[in-house]
Chain A
Amino acid sequence: EPEVTQTPSHQVTQMGQEVILRCVPISNHLYFYWYRQILGQKVEFLVSFYNNEISEKSEIFDDRFSVERPDGSNFTLKIRSTKLEDSAMYFCASSETLYLGYTFGSGTRLTVV
Chain B
Amino acid sequence: EDKVVQSPLSLVVHEGDTVTLNCSYEVTNFRSLLWYKQEKKAPTFLFMLTSSGIEKKSGRLSSILDKKELFSILNITATQTGDSAIYLCAVEVGGGSNYKLTFGKGTLLTVNP
Contacts and interface: CB of A to CB of B under 8 A. Distances in A.
A101 B103 contact: no
Contact of B98 (A42, A55, A101): A55
Contacts of A44: 103
A56 B43 contact: no
A11 interface: no
B20 to A, nearest CB: 21
Q: Tell me if B's interface is mostly helix, strand, loop or mixed.
A: strand
11 contacts: A45-B101, A48-B100, A50-B97, A98-B97, A101-B48, A102-B45, A102-B101, A104-B36, A104-B43, A106-B40, A107-B42
Closest 4 pairs (CB-CB, A-B) = A106-B42, A43-B103, A106-B41, A45-B100
Chain B interface size, under 10 / 10 to 19 / 20 to 34 / 35 or more:
20 to 34
Interface of A: 4, 31, 33, 35, 41-45, 48, 50, 55-56, 58, 89, 91, 98, 100-107
Given A43-B90, A50-B97, A101 B102 contact: no
Interface of B: 32, 34, 36, 40-45, 48, 88, 90, 94, 97-106
Contacts of A100: 48
A45 B103 CA distance: 9
Contact of A56 (B32, B34, B41, B94): B94
A67 to B, nearest CB: 14
Contacts of A58: 100
